[in-house]
Structure 1
Amino acid sequence: MITALVAVLIGLVVLVWSADKFVLGAAATARRLGMSPLLVGLTIVSIGTSAPELFVSAVATLDGAGNLAIGNALGSNITNIGLVLGITALVSPIPLKKKLLRKELPLLLLVSILAGLTLADLELSYIDSILLLAGLVAAMYILFQESDDSGESLVDEDEAAAIESLSTKMAVFWLLLGLVCLMISSKALVWGATEIARSFGISDLMIGLTIVAIGTSLPELAASVASALKGHHDIAIGNVIGSNIFNLLAVMPVPGLIATVAVEPMALYRDLPVMLALTLALLVLFILNRRSGVMGRFSGSLLGLGYLGYLTTLFMMTSNG
């Protein structure tokens, strides 16, 4: 048990660190190969925020813990809205941009519904995964059109400067080192988490929804709070919305591409509705705060309390089970 706990803690720390280095190296390498800053931000940096979830899902599925991977995707989205945005709004009120209400938030809601439909038969199959990946291509096109129209950067100044200043040799070094560390730390995290689950009689889904989801959402939490403190609030909320879209369209398909996964019923009847409810709540809060133009501490408190209530429900169900 102690070994498993150490594996989870070290795995999470290395996972977060290596994801950051992997994204930095990949983005800088792409720039050296001639990719535009806009395209780097839209693809590598945006998808890179879901790198921890992506690697953990792949390793979990290969280890026969497909429901941990599904729980990771759903749980990360719940954590991103309830915990990450909740804390960010408590740190500093988040200015709301109209373009988020026009495209990004409705797109996230549609993607969430699509994810629910693929799980409706309590199976995640190869066909389901292909449908989600097709949705990813469509979402990328829509987001690229929006970004191209606005002309806005998708990364903050510090991150953009780090990408531009990195030499080709160092970019490739961080890319490869980050990739290796991501694979090793993902393996350690999944092994430790599944061992803890077996010791306490907890399902893989529950571990994916809690320990793994919170751990793999740490990059979004750190990036969003840091952006808010720097005054880059639009990047903070954009990170969360973008990450949630990629979690459902790029991370959740991974188990189905490897093998058909029998989905635990609670993922469909409990966790998916909570994810949809929080996504709708974010949309409603956006509309209600449209006149003031900011999502303040009261809204952040509501999101945070919603997430705390969800966690409490999970632990009560576990203890009663």
Structure 2
Amino acid sequence: MIPGGFLPDSPVVNVLIIVIATGFIWFGSGWLEESAEHLSAYYGLPAVVQGSIVVAVGSSFPELSSVVFTAIEGTFDMGVGAIVGSAIFNILVIPALSGLVTDGDLDTNRTIVYKEAQFYMIAVAALVVTLSLAVIYVPVPDGPELAGNLTRPLAALPLLLYGLYLFIQWQDVSDHDAGGVTDGTDIGREWGKLAVGLVVILVAVERLVGSVESLSHTFGIPAFLAGVTIIAAATSLPDTLVSVRSAQTGNGITSIGNVLGSNTFDLLVAIPIGVLIVGSVSVDFAVAVPMLGVLTLATVLLFSFLRTDLSVTTFESYALLFAYGLFVAWIVAETAGVTHLIKGA
């Protein structure tokens, strides 16, 4: 019965809850992102830091919530799937949509390409190494051949790398001379709006995860694949909103910075926090790594487009959307049993 025993646990009710929860995620994220932008302006943060840290962490809260709830409920594979699926969506779809809503090309700069994008690629590699160490040193007894337990010491490795990322960003803030915009800003109100947005997102994601888990059991969809598709799309709404809106106002740096910063946070912070909460979780290397391989290819594709004239053209935007279409088609084929590239699913 859901929620609280008042509604039947049926596919129709679960789909309805998913739609409503997604709407609340969008609503809460709007408050969160608006307050984050005002706070960034108030404290005088540079655009790249605003996009890759403040706004990115705020818009990543749905992904973080999904990992925490799936870890608590014992469906951590679904949470990891949501993170990876959301990261692929962010890399391919959001820059494409941002490029299509601008008048001309979506402009970036060398800071985005040579700092944010390259550090993000390091984050992907760090997560693969962490999962590899789990399989090698903490294998799951009587479990799948390539399953390993992510423990708290292993989860600390990506967090340490994110600490380095924050140090680099702090250096950029120290070198930035712009003063804060304090006129007309009620700082207490903005912090309060941010807190309310976080609470709304937290409750909505908890309902979303529960309904998706129920649907996955009903239709026999593997938890990882359910996370990659349904939860990933819903939790990516905040990132889409803030990046497209930034692109429309001509701020391509904040738009792309949000995408890369959000993905960096998801991989290096969201997944480890889920592990820290429950102590140890099992991850099937055979399921996770093929998806991370797709994420790596998507990242290389976006990096290539960003480096070419430091912009994303209309043609490149359509190419990114086409690549995501291929990814979705592959996931459908895996779920239907047409292909078997994901061995553990």
Equivalent residue letter for 1:132: P
The corresponding residue for 2:138 is: none
The corresponding residue for 2:243 is: 224
CA distance in 2 between counterparts of 1:282 and 1:83 reads 10
Q: CA RMSD in A?
A: 2.6
1:285 to 1:152, Cα distance in 2 relative to 1, 3 A = farther
Maintained 8 Å contact 1:57/1:70: yes
The corresponding residue for 1:306 is: 323
Alignment of 1:1-321 (within 5 A): 1-24=11-34, 36-38=43-45, 41=50, 43-92=53-102, 93-120=105-132, 121=135, 122-149=148-175, 165-168=184-187, 170-259=189-278, 260-287=280-307, 289-290=308-309, 293-320=310-337
Report the alpha carbon displacement of residue 180 of structure 1 after superposing the two structures with TM.
2.6
**Higher fraction of helix:** 1
Of all paired residues, the percent bearing the same amino acid is 24
Maintained 8 Å contact 1:115/1:248: yes
Report the alpha carbon displacement of residue 101 of structure 1 after superposing the two structures with TM.
2.2
CA distance in 1 between counterparts of 2:119 and 2:249 reads 27
CA distance in 2 between counterparts of 1:152 and 1:94 reads 24
Report the alpha carbon displacement of residue 166 of structure 1 after superposing the two structures with TM.
4.8
Number of residue pairs matched by the alignment: 308
Provide, for residues 208-227 of structure 1, a one-character-per-residue CA deviation record: whole Å limited to 9, x for no partner: 11111111111111222222
Report the alpha carbon displacement of residue 200 of structure 1 after superposing the two structures with TM.
0.9
Structure 2 unaligned residues grouped into runs of 5+: 1-10, 136-147, 339-345
Deviates more, 1:58-67 or 1:175-184: 175-184
Instruction: Report runs of 4+ in structure 1 exceeding 6 Å deviation.
Output: 26-31
SS in structure 2 of the partner of residue 263 of structure 1: strand
Maintained 8 Å contact 1:128/1:256: no
Equivalent residue letter for 1:138: L
TM-score, normalized by length of structure 1? 0.86
Maintained 8 Å contact 1:124/1:255: no
1:152 to 1:195, Cα distance in 2 relative to 1, 3 A = farther
Provide, for residues 250-276 of structure 1, a one-character-per-residue CA deviation record: whole Å limited to 9, x for no partner: 212122112322113443332010111
CA distance in 1 between counterparts of 2:321 and 2:177 reads 33
Provide, for residues 34-58 of structure 1, a one-character-per-residue CA deviation record: whole Å limited to 9, x for no partner: x833289364433112111111211
Report the alpha carbon displacement of residue 105 of structure 1 after superposing the two structures with TM.
1.2
Maintained 8 Å contact 1:54/1:251: yes
1:277 to 1:151, Cα distance in 2 relative to 1, 3 A = farther
Report the alpha carbon displacement of residue 23 of structure 1 after superposing the two structures with TM.
4.9
CA distance in 1 between counterparts of 2:149 and 2:328 reads 25
Equivalent residue letter for 1:139: Y
Provide, for residues 171-204 of structure 1, a one-character-per-residue CA deviation record: whole Å limited to 9, x for no partner: 3542443233222111110111101111110111
CA distance in 2 between counterparts of 1:273 and 1:55 reads 24
CA distance in 1 between counterparts of 2:129 and 2:183 reads 41
CA distance in 2 between counterparts of 1:77 and 1:164 reads 36
Equivalent residue letter for 1:269: V
Structure whose CA Rg is larger: 2
1:30 to 1:286, Cα distance in 2 relative to 1, 3 A = closer
CA distance in 1 between counterparts of 2:306 and 2:195 reads 40
SS in structure 1 of the partner of residue 45 of structure 2: helix
1:143 to 1:320, Cα distance in 2 relative to 1, 3 A = same
1:225 to 1:19, Cα distance in 2 relative to 1, 3 A = closer
CA distance in 2 between counterparts of 1:104 and 1:197 reads 35
Provide, for residues 142-164 of structure 1, a one-character-per-residue CA deviation record: whole Å limited to 9, x for no partner: 123235445579xxxxxx98x97
